[in-house]
């Protein structure tokens, strides 16, 4: 499967919402063709290089499909789009086209069934509900009650202030229990750092 890539400084997770401002010609064309064809594009985390100008020199080998849910012209005249994270994928190979858009051959990850939340994740579920009260999170329509372990893990991984490398690490894990355990451990480390 070939997928156009949009390298960003952000890690997108399935079921999470991201607002983007599009101004480069290659990405305006990409968004237009995605909307016409009814498919998404891939968001990958930049490891080296920048979002603007020439193609990112290096990016994470895993990404998340971005499905366009809404669009509008911003007051500054630029195109604003809201995307929702879809399926995760691994980048098998990629090539930069003449217009500088990177198109990758990807392999979709198998998500499997979501598991119900148990009592052991009650604290994390409460944390997500608390995050949902934040105006920025509310604007994205996120937070609130999680539907299962995977939903809880993805939303917390996306919303919490972890390092980008940690977020990529969470995106690579297939098991939501492992994701939640790692999130719990990193939260404890963050709290320990805050106390020191």
In contact, 38 and 7? CB cutoff 8 Å: no
Question: 2-108: what CATH class?
Answer: mainly beta
**Which pLDDT belongs to residue 54?**
52
CA 169/CA 122 separation, integer angstroms: 23
Closest CA to 128 of 142, 139, 140: 142
**Which pLDDT belongs to residue 194?**
62
* Residue 110: exposure state from Cβ atoms within 10 A (0-12, 13-18, ≥19): exposed
14 backbone dihedrals φ, ψ, rounded to 5°: -55, 135
Which stretch of DSSP H or E encloses residue 62? strand 58-73
**Which pLDDT belongs to residue 151?**
94
Place of tokens 């392999």: 107
Kindly calculate the radius of gyration of the chain based on its CA atoms and give it in whole angstroms. 17
Which stretches of the chain score pLDDT less than 70? 49-57, 194-196
Spell out the domain ranges in the chain: 2-108, 119-195
């Amino acid at each position: 499967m070939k997928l156009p890539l949009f390298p960003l400084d952000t890690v997108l997770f399935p079921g999470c919402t991201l607002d983007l401002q599009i101004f480069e010609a290659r990405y305006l064309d990409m968004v237009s063709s995605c909307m016409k064809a009814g498919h998404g594009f891939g968001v990958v985390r930049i490891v080296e290089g920048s979002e603007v100008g020439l193609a990112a020199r290096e990016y994470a080998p895993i990404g998340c499909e971005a499905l366009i849910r809404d669009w509008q012209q911003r007051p500054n005249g630029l195109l604003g789009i809201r995307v929702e994270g879809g399926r995760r994928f691994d980048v098998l190979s990629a090539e930069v086209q003449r217009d500088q858009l990177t198109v990758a051959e990807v392999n979709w990850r198998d998500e499997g069934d979501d598991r119900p939340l148990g009592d052991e994740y009650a604290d994390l579920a409460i944390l997500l509900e608390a995050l949902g009260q934040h105006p920025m999170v509310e604007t994205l329509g996120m937070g609130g009650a999680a539907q299962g372990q995977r939903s809880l893990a993805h939303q917390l991984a996306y919303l919490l202030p972890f390092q980008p490398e940690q977020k990529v690490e969470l995106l690579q894990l297939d098991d939501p229990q492992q994701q939640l355990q790692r999130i719990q451990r990193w939260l404890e480390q963050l709290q320990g750092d805050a106390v020191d």
